[in-house]
Amino acid sequence: MRGLRILFKILIVCLLTILTQIGGLLFILCRCLRGKNPSFRYLYQTIAFLSIYLLLTFMLVPFLARLLGRVPMPIHAMAL
């Protein structure tokens, strides 16, 4: 059962890394967080992951992209 749990976490890291490059790394970092109450540890880790992930995805990444000269892809309704 432990091997299946590890395989599931590896799959989550791979999917998050494919989706957004910061997702997998952030998942690993949030798994290292410890809550004060062990019974709420997973809830604490999940809330921390979601809040930091959303903050980084919508606030920090676009700001850094502009600084590094990245531009959004031109997507128009007529091209679809």
pLDDT tens, residue by residue, 28-66: 888 887 767 777 778 888 888 889 889 888 888 888 888
pLDDT at 56 (0 to 100): 87
Say if 80 falls within a structural domain.
Answer: no
* Rounded Cα–Cα distance for residues 76 and 35 (Å): 46
DSSP for 11-30 reads HHHHHHHHH-TTHHHHHHHH
pTM given for the model: 0.67
Q: Evaluate whether residue 77 is within a structural domain.
A: no
In a domain, 75, yes or no: no
Domain carrying residue 24:
2-67
Helices (H), the chain: 2-19, 23-31, 41-55, 61-67
- Total number of domains constituting the chain: 1
